[in-house]
Amino acid sequence: MKRTTKEKDKPLSKYPAVINDISFWLPSENYTENDFYDLVRTIGGDLVEKVDLIDKFEHPKTHKTSHCYRITYRHMERTLSQSEVRRVHQAVQEAAVRLLAVEGRF
């Protein structure tokens, strides 16, 4: 595959990733996945390597929908501690509830 001049190689970190999942019930309206991705990147900044939607579930009785995302955290120059990632992840959880009106399952 030929590369274009717009493509840039992102350097790879030699340090291990810390992976945390987040699950929540979606609000009845006005939720988009891109809003969640933007929120995670705004809060986590360069520590967020990747955000993946890994599961969707619809409750058979209430018909509420739940999403589960896997967030991969990694630093380019050092190993992240679980407590350091926990602070960022908790901030993501709190902001998702406050700004996106989701109902946390954490």
Which residue do the tokens 């190689």 mark? Answer: 9
Q: Is residue 20 a contact partner of residue 76, using CB atoms and an 8 Å limit?
A: no
pLDDT higher than 50, residue 7:
no
Contacts 24+ apart (CB under 8 A), 31-39: 31/100, 31/101, 31/102, 33/67, 35/100, 36/67, 36/69, 36/96, 36/100, 39/92, 39/95, 39/96, 39/99, 39/100
Taking domain 18-104, whether its CATH number is 3.55.10.10 is answered by: no
Q: What residue spans define the domains of the chain?
A: 18-104
**Nearest C-alpha neighbor of 13 from the set 57, 55, 36, 46:** 46
Tens of pLDDT, residue by residue over 9-36, are 567 789 999 999 999 999 988 899 999 9
Q: What is the pTM of this model?
A: 0.86
Tens of pLDDT, residue by residue over 50-73, are 999 999 999 999 999 999 999 999
